[in-house]
A and B are shown apart, each in its own frame.
Chain A
Amino acid sequence: MSEERKGRLKIYLGYAAGVGKTYRMLEEAQALRAEGVDIAIAYFEPHGRRETIAKTEGFETVPRRTLTYAGTQFEEMDTDAVLRRKPAVAVVDEFAHTNVPGMAHDKRWQDVRALLDAGIDVLTTMNVQHLESLNDQVCRVTGVRVRETVPDWVVDEAEEVVFVDLTPRALRNRIERGVVYAPEKARRAMDNFFTEGNLTALREIAMRHAAHEAEDKLRPAKAIPITGRHERILICLTGSPSSAILIRRGKRVADYIQADCIAVHVSGGAGERQREAVERHMSFARNLRIDTHVVEGPDIAAAIATFARSQRITQIFMGRPGPRPLLKSLRESVVQQVVRQARDKQITIVAERG
């Protein structure tokens, strides 16, 4: 029976490298070991930080897997070896990491899910900017587009999210003292990403997210909607690049207000290039656990309105209409048509953050 128990996930959440996530995680690991828990380090990234490395002393470490890609050697967590060793608790640093091609999974969070499925509890670390739903906001605030992202539902499934805090001033002191990065890298980091403004903004984002996670843990699994009517959000996908922003925003709002969330694309003979982009957006939406649908045109607005009615949608999310040539601008945009045709629905036109 104990074989069927899923492992529990605990995430140490920070707002930047160097705030002390790994250190806190290892402190917890030490406490568990002191209680006699069978614990092993499955992946640890030392980054040359002395105090953190000292915390790993005396722990069993599962050797990493070495593989060569494009002539360079890479080391990754050896998930199979951890599964064979099967400790009660595994320590896995850097949850948002992307594996080198050739591994069973693209992402470390997928490896971690394999450990959880095998009944292994996992302690892990991540920074708030790796959350998929915050990608556009983080880009807007810091000017940096984070490439390694983790879908929100993966983090929501964690049993615990612990916020690890440090003031930006203390963090910048640590970077200056060379605790976080090597000297020349430290200088660049201070001037670019690790500015006081960026760090303060990221820290606020992280605190608000931690508050959201804390609140989330308090809600029953299937909450009864306060309004009495269950909210259902429909995201209208197109081939436009801004659809990614639309998907993230729609899903984020849906998660926060506990609404259902589905996506639809109206196919009306889109060109090959468009079709490829639409397919990419649909697959992105499915990765975020949004059900996707395709309905037939040719009248896009009418198709959206009809579909929304049949799906008992309460709120329609659409992207902002782009600039149009003068002649076309005399006609209504699809958004304007939907606004008129779906009169009983709330319609949200999403800003292109990022």
Chain B
Amino acid sequence: MAELTRRPDPEELLRRVQAEERREQRGRLKVFLGYAPRVGKSMRMFDEGRRRKERGEDVVVASIQGELPADIQCLVDQLEVIPTLTEHYAGREFQVLDIAGLFRRHPQIVLIDGLANDNPPGSRNPQRWQDVENLLGRGIGVITAVNVQHIKERQDDVARVTGKRAAYSIPEAFLIEADDIEVVDAPPEALLGRGGQMALDARQLGELRELALVLAANVVDRQLQGYLSSHGIAALWGVQERILVCLTPRSNAETMLRSGRRNARRFHGALLAAYFEQENLSAADRVKLEANLALARELGAEVHCLKASGFVEGILAFAREQHITQVFLGHTLRDQSRWFLRSPIDKLIEEAADFDLRLFPHAETE
């Protein structure tokens, strides 16, 4: 790998040791992530349970969902099941994990289908994912499956696609903190053709599929950053496309920001905006800069203020630190050049080895 080795700071070391201690006591969590029902998550989960049992691990099924298709039932039949308990509350029927039974039985691994589930009021936890936390805390490993619809932070995106919000939601942190996450993918057509009625059409399924894959990629990116920092590696490269828009009062900020956002979206990457702290700004320039920053935030950019002494050095250092892959810059700066002096842009062109530099014209002059 192209990388620099650096010494981790003491804080980081402490965090790492604590995380390792926690991990040793905790059970491992593995989550199968899908984009819709019938994508094949349960099949994959129970098949993994079967294979682990064959390799000698102590595996127990703690929850199944509804009527099982024959092939999945066949897998479940090979495993020990601790059934859910049926509880009634306000005329509704709830299926609740038999936590006490699972604690007593204390297997190595528990399989839980249907992670998105509410417990009735008065239960140990309001939601099932919290039950899972309890199991992990007791050193029991958990394998479970979830659809992107049920991730809390994705609810707006999902609602935009399906017009509906899921009844139960699981925090994204649950996925991020999982030891393993695995995507279960299949073409939308396969789901539609698999019998039963599907409330979603191919287009909606396709959009959910994209959401699930990007969510998984973001979780994996966290894992990658964690791996790199825990191994004292400062990578000079990013896997994710990360776009930095440099804002100045007179730059054509709107064009750059909108283009940046479009690019970031298309690449499923991140958008950042940065400006240099300047004390001698005129009132008019200050107003313009504030408007640009407001627009940047509105477009979802992560806004940073740079305090470097030099413009070029500031951008280079920030880009390196943030693993930037593209820098967008306005042309205004190229006016500042004199025949005997290289402009900041010229310097940047020569020094920018790790990112693409995209220069924008003043305004839409075409």
Chain A residues packing against B (C-beta within 8 Å): 10, 137, 140-143, 160, 162-167, 169-170, 195-198, 200-201, 203-205, 207-208, 210-212, 214-215, 217-218, 226-227, 249, 253, 256-257, 315, 320-321, 332-333, 335-336, 339-340, 343-353
Contact = CB atoms under 8 A, between A and B. Distances in A.
21 contacts: A140-B237, A165-B185, A167-B30, A207-B216, A210-B213, A214-B206, A227-B259, A249-B356, A256-B266, A256-B267, A320-B349, A320-B353, A321-B349, A333-B349, A336-B349, A339-B334, A339-B345, A347-B358, A349-B352, A349-B356, A351-B354
A197 B231 contact: yes
B268 interface: yes
B213 A214 contact: yes
A8 to B, nearest CB: 10
Interface residues of B, number: 59
Given A163-B185, A197-B224, A197-B228, A211 B213 contact: yes
Contacts of B2: 140-141, 143
**10 residue pairs, one from A and one from B, having the closest CB atoms:** A211-B213, A207-B217, A163-B185, A165-B183, A348-B358, A214-B210, A160-B187, A256-B266, A204-B220, A167-B180
Nearest to A354: B2
Given A141-B237, A210-B185, A320 B214 contact: no
A350 B213 CA distance: 28
Given A165-B185, A201-B224, A227 B213 contact: no
Contacts of B64: none
B345 to A, nearest CB: 7
Nearest to A211: B213
A217 B206 CA distance: 8
B24 interface: no
A321 B350 contact: yes
B223 interface: yes
B206 A218 contact: yes
B195 to A, nearest CB: 13
Contact of A349 (B189, B209, B357, B366): B357
Contacts of A200: 220, 223-224, 227
Interface in B188-211: 189, 203, 206-207, 209-210
Nearest to B30: A167
A343 B360 CA distance: 9
B52 to A, nearest CB: 11
A207 B220 contact: yes
A143 B237 CA distance: 12
Contacts of B187: 10, 160, 162
Nearest to B28: A169
A218 B211 CA distance: 13
Interface in B314-366: 331, 334, 345-346, 349-350, 352-362, 365-366
A347 B356 contact: no
Contacts of B259: 227
Contacts of A347: 358-359
Contacts of A163: 183, 185, 213
Given A208-B217, A227-B262, A349-B356, A214 B223 contact: no
Contacts of A346: 358-361
B43 to A, nearest CB: 10
Given A162-B186, A214-B206, A204 B240 contact: yes
B30 to A, nearest CB: 8
B320 to A, nearest CB: 12
Contacts of A195: 1
B221 interface: yes
Contacts of B214: 207-208, 211
B359 A205 contact: no
Contacts of A217: 206
B209 A166 contact: no
A127 to B, nearest CB: 15
A211 B1 contact: no
Given A204-B220, A320-B349, A349-B359, 18 more contacts: A169-B180, A170-B180, A195-B1, A197-B231, A201-B239, A203-B220, A208-B267, A212-B268, A214-B209, A217-B206, A218-B210, A256-B263, A320-B350, A335-B349, A343-B365, A348-B359, A349-B352, A349-B356
Contact of B268 (A166, A196, A208, A339): A208
B221 A204 contact: yes
Contacts of A10: 187
A10 B221 CA distance: 27
Nearest to B350: A321
A226 B262 CA distance: 9
Given A140-B237, A204-B220, A215-B210, A348 B356 contact: yes
Nearest to B179: A169
Contacts of A215: 206, 210
A348 B239 contact: no
B266 A257 contact: yes
Contacts of A351: 352-357
A142 B1 contact: yes
Contact of A344 (B184, B224, B352, B361): B361
B277 interface: no
B181 A167 contact: yes
B233 interface: yes
Interface centre among A204, A315, A340 (most CB of B within 10 A): A204
Contacts of A332: 346
A211 B210 contact: yes
Contacts of B221: 204
B313 interface: no
Given A218-B203, A336-B349, A347-B359, A198 B1 contact: yes
Interface centre among A141, A203, A211, A348 (most CB of B within 10 A): A211
